[in-house]
């Protein structure tokens, strides 16, 4: 098995700490987080994790949790795993879980690459990577999440026919991600016309980052399916 630990040493995200947590957020970290935290020590069993044989989706880098919470509310029969290293974002997600009484979400408050090897193969039905840290400067681009080793591992844990949605508002990242994902050979791009990558998907909940419009282009939406005729 290839040792990918050196790739994990390269951080794909910026800061982890933000403003001090409120007393309520601290309380939720103490009381709710232990109940919804994704186990990190052993191989994951999704049936045990969610208590039944439901479909499982993954959102990588959920930011403030806007998309994560809305998706969980609209798909209560689906198990959703959210990963976000920014502690303030995790606190906001915990607040959303508490306010909406959501029991179908598990959270990982760290780098998703640390736990992907524990995921069972061919198991995820949807993956969302929405507006990840763009690292726009050329010398920073090695920190971008979409890299060959990461895509290989992602393909391993996605079920054949599962969908991957990637979005960014940085043109160089859109170009690179499309090239990397097509080049890896595990996914088929679903776009048939320009509106497929220009328009927000109907089921998308705008994120706080997206609404700030900090990038250099309008959002680019890249939707793929995991190929069904390939063993990973």
Q: Are 128 and 78 in contact (CB under 8 A)?
A: no
Beta bridge partners of 204: none
Q: Is the dihedral of CA 61, 64, 66, 72 positive or negative?
A: positive
- Annotated catalytic residue, options 133, 152, 196, 203: 133
220-226/187-189 β-pairing: antiparallel
Instruction: Decide if 149 is catalytic.
Output: no
Q: Are 69 and 100 in contact (CB under 8 A)?
A: yes
Q: Is 220 helix (H, G, I), strand (E, B) or coil?
A: strand
Phi and psi angles of residue 221, each rounded to the nearest 5 degrees, phi first: -110, 120
Q: Are 33 and 104 in contact (CB under 8 A)?
A: no
Rounded Cα distance between 72 and 69, Å, is: 5
DSSP states of 79-141 as a string?
EEEEE---HHHHHHHHHHHHHTT--SEEEE-S-GGGTGGGSPTT-EEEEEEES-----SGGGG
The set of catalytic residues is: 133
């Amino acid at each position: 098995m290839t040792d990918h630990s050196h790739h994990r040493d390269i951080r794909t995200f910026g800061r982890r700490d933000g403003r001090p947590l409120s007393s309520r957020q601290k309380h939720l970290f103490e009381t709710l987080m232990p109940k919804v935290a994704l186990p990190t020590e052993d191989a994951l069993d999704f049936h045990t994790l969610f208590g039944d044989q439901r479909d499982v989706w993954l959102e990588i880098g959920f930011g403030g949790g806007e998309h994560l919470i809305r998706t969980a509310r609209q798909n209560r029969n689906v198990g959703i795993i959210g990963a976000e290293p920014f502690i303030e974002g995790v606190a906001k997600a915990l607040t959303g879980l508490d306010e909406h009484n959501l029991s179908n979400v598990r959270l990982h408050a760290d780098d998703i690459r640390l736990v992907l090897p524990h995921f069972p193969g061919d198991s995820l039905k949807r993956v969302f990577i929405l507006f990840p840290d763009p690292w726009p400067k050329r010398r920073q681009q090695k920190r971008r999440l979409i890299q060959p080793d990461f895509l290989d591992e992602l393909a391993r844990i996605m079920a054949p026919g599962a969908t991957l949605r990637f979005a960014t508002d940085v043109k160089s990242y859109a170009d690179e991600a499309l090239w990397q994902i097509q080049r890896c050979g595990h996914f088929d791009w679903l776009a048939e016309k320009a509106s497929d990558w220009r328009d927000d998907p109907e089921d998308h909940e705008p994120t706080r980052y997206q609404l700030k419009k900090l990038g250099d282009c309008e959002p680019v939406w890249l939707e793929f399916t995991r190929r069904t005729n390939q063993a990973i």
